[in-house]
């Protein structure tokens, strides 16, 4: 495409916009033909309840080890739908591009978005592109919204955590946050840490099929990390959660960087992890489902719901103490997603 940077006119809705859409964005993302482009996508009738979610991505930098803002956005929306027990059906992509952004970078990002969607068997069906003048945005922001279909009658939500439930996570925590942080200008952290960004719809489908009503709550611990997410669920379900520090899976690399920087991995963002609350008798089966999945090799049972309470999370520390866990205060790592 010529020119090789994005111009304000690419957001005009006119001739340049159509060239950008027809030559780059639409063929790369979806393959919808020009004659089928309308203001809204039309989707066949569905059986089952619908799930609907939205997320805007403003991650800085937009390219980081293991991924970029594009596949992060697709995975994030797939995962939010999955946490409602839904199978992702269709995704929308809203781009806000800063004037002067390199067309080649845009192409790379759109290509990873398409691949991420294909890998999870979900279609990108509609989109929107805006361009703002230099200095009015930071390179590229992406909104992805998604529709999913809930093909069962289970109630999987934050209010449904129950006393005795075991709490599982599908692997090491903190990888995404530390990968993004380590790739920022000015920070010279040598590490091989990559984002854990991944689609979890396959794993959720298996959990739903295998566990049925024994699966109570699912949530992905993104911004705010595992600690904040568990605190949210404890508040919603009005329970007390007790975590075991010894059981928390953290890679040596992430643990090392966290020590150097004074960060607690419990508060660092993940983008390919889920927390599952399951009836105690189903915990081993849930663990086995996770461990068989490509995104669950390091899965572990990390705690349980120990009492009815006004939304409490406690950590049994490695040396036997009990520490109260609150939500992330302030801003630990801005623009992590």
- Span 242-281, contacts to a second copy by CB under 8 A: 267, 269
Cβ(214)–Cβ(278) below 8 Å:
yes
For a second copy, which stretch binds (CB under 8 A), given 24-32, 165-173, 203-211, 321-329? 321-329
For a second copy, which stretch binds (CB under 8 A), given 101-109, 147-155, 181-189, 205-213? 147-155
* Candidate residues 24, 32, 51, 179; the one interacting with a second copy per rule CB under 8 A: 51
100 binds a second copy (CB under 8 A): no
Contacts to a second copy from residues 6-25, by CB under 8 A: 7-9, 11-18
143 binds a second copy (CB under 8 A): yes
User: Taking phi first (over 0 means left), then psi (-120 to 50 degrees means alpha), and beta for anything else, what does residue 100 get?
Assistant: left
- How far is residue 262's CA from residue 269's CA, in Å, rounded to a whole number? 15
- How far is residue 105's CA from residue 107's CA, in Å, rounded to a whole number? 5
Contacts with a second copy by CB under 8 A: the residue count is 91
Peptide bond preceding 61 in cis form (omega within 30 of 0): yes
User: Shortest distance, CB of residue 265 to a second copy, whole angstroms?
Assistant: 15
* Candidate residues 1, 43, 102, 308; the one interacting with a second copy per rule CB under 8 A: 43
Query: How many CB atoms sit inside 10 A of residue 259's CB?
Result: 11
Residue 297: phi and psi, rounded to 5, are: -55, -35
Give, for 208, the enclosing helix (H) or strand (E).
helix 201-211
* Candidate residues 28, 30, 68, 92; the one interacting with a second copy per rule CB under 8 A: 92
194 binds a second copy (CB under 8 A): no
For a second copy, which stretch binds (CB under 8 A), given 113-121, 142-150, 248-256, 301-309? 142-150
- Burial of 81: CB neighbours in 10 Å, binned 0-12, 13-18, 19+: buried
Contacts to a second copy from residues 112-141, by CB under 8 A: 125-128, 130-133, 135-138, 141
Comparing CB distances to a second copy, the nearer of 70 and 253 is 70
Peptide bond preceding 307 in cis form (omega within 30 of 0): no
The closest of 173, 162, 174, 156 to 80, measured between CA atoms, is 156
- How far is residue 55's CA from residue 226's CA, in Å, rounded to a whole number? 19
The closest of 17, 10, 49 to 34, measured between CA atoms, is 17
* Candidate residues 61, 65, 94, 280; the one interacting with a second copy per rule CB under 8 A: 94
* Candidate residues 83, 182, 243, 257; the one interacting with a second copy per rule CB under 8 A: 83
Comparing CB distances to a second copy, the nearer of 78 and 254 is 78
Contacts to a second copy from residues 198-237, by CB under 8 A: 219-220, 222-224, 228, 232, 235-236
């Amino acid at each position: 495409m010529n020119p090789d940077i994005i111009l304000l006119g690419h957001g005009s809705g006119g001739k340049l916009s159509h060239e950008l859409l027809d030559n780059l964005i639409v063929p790369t993302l979806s393959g919808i033909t020009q004659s089928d482009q309308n203001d809204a996508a039309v989707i066949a009738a569905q059986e089952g309840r619908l799930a609907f979610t939205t997320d805007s991505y403003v991650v800085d930098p937009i390219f980081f080890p293991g991924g970029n803002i594009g596949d992060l956005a697709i995975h994030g929306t797939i995962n939010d739908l999955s946490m409602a027990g839904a199978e992702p059906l269709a995704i929308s992509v809203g781009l806000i591009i800063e004037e002067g952004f390199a067309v080649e970078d845009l192409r790379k990002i759109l290509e990873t978005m398409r691949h991420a969607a294909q890998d999870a068997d979900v279609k990108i069906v509609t989109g929107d592109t805006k361009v703002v003048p230099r200095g009015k945005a930071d390179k590229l922001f992406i909104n992805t919204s998604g529709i999913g279909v809930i093909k069962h009658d289970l109630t999987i939500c934050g209010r449904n955590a129950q006393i005795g439930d075991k709490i599982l996570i599908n692997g090491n925590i903190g990888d995404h946050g530390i990968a993004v942080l380590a790739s920022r200008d000015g920070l010279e952290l040598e590490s091989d840490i990559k984002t854990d960004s991944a689609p979890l719809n396959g794993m959720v489908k298996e959990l739903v099929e295998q566990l049925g009503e024994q699966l109570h709550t699912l949530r992905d611990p993104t911004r705010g990390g595992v600690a904040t997410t568990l605190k949210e669920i404890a508040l919603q379900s009005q329970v007390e959660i007790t975590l075991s520090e010894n059981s928390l899976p953290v890679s040596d690399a992430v643990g090392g960087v966290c020590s150097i920087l004074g960060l607690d991995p419990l508060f660092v963002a993940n983008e390919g992890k889920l927390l599952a609350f399951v009836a105690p008798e189903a915990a081993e089966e849930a663990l086995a489902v996770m461990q068989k999945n490509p995104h669950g090799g390091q899965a572990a049972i990390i705690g349980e719901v120990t009492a009815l309470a006004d939304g409490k999370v406690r950590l049994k520390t490695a040396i036997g103490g009990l520490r109260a866990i609150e939500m992330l205060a302030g801003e630990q790592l801005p623009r992590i997603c």
